[in-house]
Amino acid sequence: MEYRPLGRTGVQVSPLCLGAMMFGPWGNNDTADSIHIIHRALDAGINFIDTADVYSGGASEEIVGKAVEGRREDVFLATKFFMPMSEDPNERGGSRRWIIREVENSLRRLNTDYIDLYQVHRPSPDTDVEETLGALTDLVRQGKVRYIGSSSYSGSQIVEAQWASRERNLERFITEQPPYSILVRGIEEDVLPAVQRHGMGTLTYSPLGGGWLSGRWRKDAASAPTSSARPGARFDMTSPANQRKLDIVEDLAQLAEQAGLTLIELAIAFVINHPGVTAAIVGPRTMEQLESYLPAADITLSTDVLDGIDQLVAPGVTVNPDDNSYGAQELTAQARRRRQA
């Protein structure tokens, strides 16, 4: 597996990053099997693991910590903070108070003295970015964290954070973690260019579009999820946007077959073939899923295949707006309406 530079840090990482969200009660609750999957990924050349405090309430971090014991120096280990860890309103977010406390919890669960990449899981509408960056800077200077990153930041938020770091002489985000797949291409318009201009690494999540590009859900497949089985607009098969996605998946499957690839290989290779992408985060629940992801690391898509994908989903387009990870705060009715007298 050929490694890539992580932004301008000088660190070399694999083009596939092992996402650990499915290790623990959220997915695979067999700790021994999860560790086996992690070891297989490391043996295959993956040297990059991404998890988060909130995944399975901390169980994912604990499993990763057990799996990398004795191999810690060979792994670039990333985790995240921000999401609620309890009903306590202070056990979440990007405040200095929470960051300083929660990093200790993650270090304990991961059974490590340091975190290679500590990421803000989401931007905060209520906390100044300087406060978050200031707390993270202290952690870097204390040696508890090596690098810091962001996740699901818009282009303007990326630029604001970079400006604040330079203006206040604080550590800067060296990575951004956005959603990216053939079906969710919105970051091509703004986020990826911003990341590239600032020399950041990009760790994209959901390269299979939340399972849509895994081949599991097809137009005539009995296993296609329904709104009752998978609640939420993203999986409502009666919506026109999701019907369009099913049509696109059929065409992509044919394109993949013509190229001698599986749909999964096509989908992941599409993501890591973008010059602005450092690594695609793949989150297997089973060993079979991991094995289906690994070949994509060595695939280079031809211009004809990439042109064929562009004809099905135009650059910069997210087929179903419900898949968008941006605007959750800015586009609410409360944020858009005029103040009442």
Residue 180 a catalytic site member: no
Query: Pick the catalytic residue: 3, 55, 118, 153?
Result: 55
* Alpha carbon distances (Å) from 152 to 1, 8, 328: 27, 20, 11
* Alpha carbon distances (Å) from 153 to 149, 161, 202, 271: 10, 9, 12, 18
Q: Which of 129, 60, 66 is nearest to 94 (CA)?
A: 129
CB 246 within 8 A of CB 181: no
Half-sphere exposure of 212 (CA within 13 A, CB side): 28
CB 174 within 8 A of CB 7: yes
What are the φ and ψ backbone dihedral angles of 283, each rounded to 5 degrees? -120, 80
Quote the Cα angle for 15-16-17, to 5°: 115
CB 41 within 8 A of CB 4: no
Q: Which of 67, 64, 106, 66 is nearest to 83 (CA)?
A: 106
Give the integer Cα–Cα distance in Å for 329 and 238. 27
Give the integer Cα–Cα distance in Å for 117 and 119. 6
| Catalytic residue list | 55
